[in-house]
Amino acid sequence: MEIRDDELVLRPIEARDADAIAAGLADPETSRYMLQIPTPYTPEDARTWVARCEQVWRDETSYPFAIVDAAGGAFLGSIELSGDSGSIGYWVAPEAQGRGVATRALRLLCGWASQRPLRLTTHPDNVASQRVAEKAGFRRIGTITEEQRFRDGERESILFELP
């Protein structure tokens, strides 16, 4: 199963992605505004997460994709749609940030997903992620209190929806 355009392919996360996931999420700036990320992030954390991804695909409860380069297949990041809540999360590897990868991946995922509304939340200071959401057509709805705190202790998130 894959979703693609001229530049990117979204395909299910697989065991071969573990090293790239470990490398990307070891970057403290990349994991800074992500909830539920162990710090420091180890290769074992990545392998555990990949196994969980394979399980949720089998269960059809959530859909975690690798974002890969359409030309060479390089791992660029990850994007996940949670089946029950319609919530989306994403991250892009440090070396691939700032060239439209997240925006393109989010548009692709929203085009594939049939459920609405789709939702995502961001740390109030995560302006790059908020721009990505807005460029993909999401609207800022308000704020919500997360179950967990961000690394800096913040617990309020900005909520975005695609109606």
Ligand X SMILES: CC(C)(COP(=O)(O)OP(=O)(O)OC[C@H]1O[C@@H](n2cnc3c(N)ncnc32)[C@H](O)[C@@H]1OP(=O)(O)O)[C@@H](O)C(=O)NCCC(=O)NCCS
Binding footprint of ligand X on the chain (CB under 6 A): 30, 33-34, 90-92, 97-103, 122, 126-129, 131-132
Neighbours of 4 (CB within 10 A): 12
Q: Beta strand pairing status for 3-4 and 139-145?
A: unpaired
Nearest to 132 by CA among 159, 157, 94, 104: 104
CB of 156 to ligand X, least distance (A): 13
Q: Closest-CB residue for ligand X? A: 102
| Minimum distance from residue 130 beta carbon to ligand X (Å) | 8
Compute the distance between CA of residue 105 and CA of residue 110 in angstroms, rounded to an integer: 9
Q: Which is nearer to ligand X, 99 or 116 (CB)?
A: 99
Q: Closer CB to ligand X, residue 10 or residue 92?
A: 92
| Cα(42)–Cα(106) distance, integer angstroms | 26
Q: How far is the CB of 133 from ligand X (least distance, A)?
A: 8
